[in-house]
Amino acid sequence: MHKILFGDNQFFGVNHMSEEKARQQSMRFRDVASIIKVIDSAYSAGIKVFMCTTHDLIEEVCNHVRNNPRQYADFEFYPCLPYAHKYNDAVTEEGLMGGLKKFVGGNVIEFIIRGGVALTQADMIGMMKLLIDAELRMFKGLKTPVIFLQNVLTDLLLGLGFKAVIKDFAEYIQERYQAEPGFITMNLPMLCAVLEEYNIKRPIVCTNINKIGFRMCGGKDAYEQILRTKKVRCIAMSIFASGAIPPKVAIEYACQLDGVDSIVFGASSEGHINETLNLIEGYWGKGN
């Protein structure tokens, strides 16, 4: 797993502290050309992994990379799914059945006839597999060595007690896509207990890691204790706590924290990418 990954929150108006900043970013990156320009800056700086959602514009990024194989010879995608906003919009516009059919086609009718869509673990696993296949079509022919379950679903499943769905996600990604399953969560302690229960060894987990404990359910101390065990391969996200922590302070904490294997960050300009990259490489050289 690479040590430094590039994320996509900045492209789609995601900022947990400022709605105005999120809106401005969303307006700036309305077309795929502006997104590709920033991705190319990260790639030129030596960042080879793009950790991304399955937003419609990402499909256009995939097409661009697929059409330029020499330019992106060692470029990798780490898809994160499901993209909840896409499903929400589809169901709002076309209803539950219309929204599902939009993503999985006629298969959804067969699925309903076969087993129904009652809220049971067995039904959720079957539907999950259909939706995984639908969302990953855009990455066909591209390198996707790690495929993540988004925190919106990971944490929902944990809260509902549908632990078996998490296990089946891991098995399905390994068997069908020959990729490593990854999990994004806002509750590292609870997720780790479930993964250990199902004997999932050294899982890849992406979670908030920052000095002020921003969106770290269970508390910063509990996270640090888990990381010291080295039982998970941790990707630290939200290290800046959406701008609440100065870059140098945020990066120094994350880089010198025992048990952090990788850092994912987003940036909207070449200058910001290089500044962040230099800080990470500098502090990681002192610590790990």
Any idea where the domains of the chain sit in the sequence? 4-286
pLDDT value of position 127? 76
The percent of residues in the chain predicted with pLDDT above 70, rounded, is 79
Q: Which residue stretches of the chain have pLDDT < 50?
A: 16, 88, 90-92, 96, 108-109, 111-119, 287-288
Phi, psi values for residue 186, rounded to 5°: -105, 5
3-state secondary structure of 28: helix
pLDDT at 64: 98
What is 4-286's CATH number? Answer: 3.20.20.100
Q: How far apart are the first and last CA of the chain?
A: 15
Rg for the chain (alpha carbons), in Å?
19
Q: Using CA atoms, how far apart are residues 285 and 173, in angstroms rounded to an integer?
A: 34
Q: What interhelical angle do 151-160 and 188-197 show, nearest 10?
A: 70
Rounded (to 5) percent helix, strand, coil in the chain: 55, 15, 30
Full-model pTM: 0.86
Strands, E, within the chain: which ranges?
Answer: 4-6, 49-52, 76-81, 146-149, 180-185, 204-208, 233-237, 260-265
Q: Which helix (H) or strand (E) holds 61?
A: helix 56-67
Closest CA to 52 of 110, 115, 135, 128: 135
Q: What is the pLDDT of residue 128?
A: 81
- At 120 the pLDDT is 55
Note the pLDDT of residue 288.
47
- How far from the centroid of its chain's Cα atoms is residue 181's Cα? 11
Half-sphere exposure for 30 (CA within 13 Å, toward CB)? 4
Residue 104 confidence (pLDDT): 53
In this prediction, residue 94 carries a pLDDT of 56
Quote the DSSP letter at residue 139.
G
User: Among 72, 262, 65, 77, which Cα is nearest to 179's?
Assistant: 77
User: CA 139 → CA 41, 71, 77, distances in Å?
Assistant: 21, 17, 8
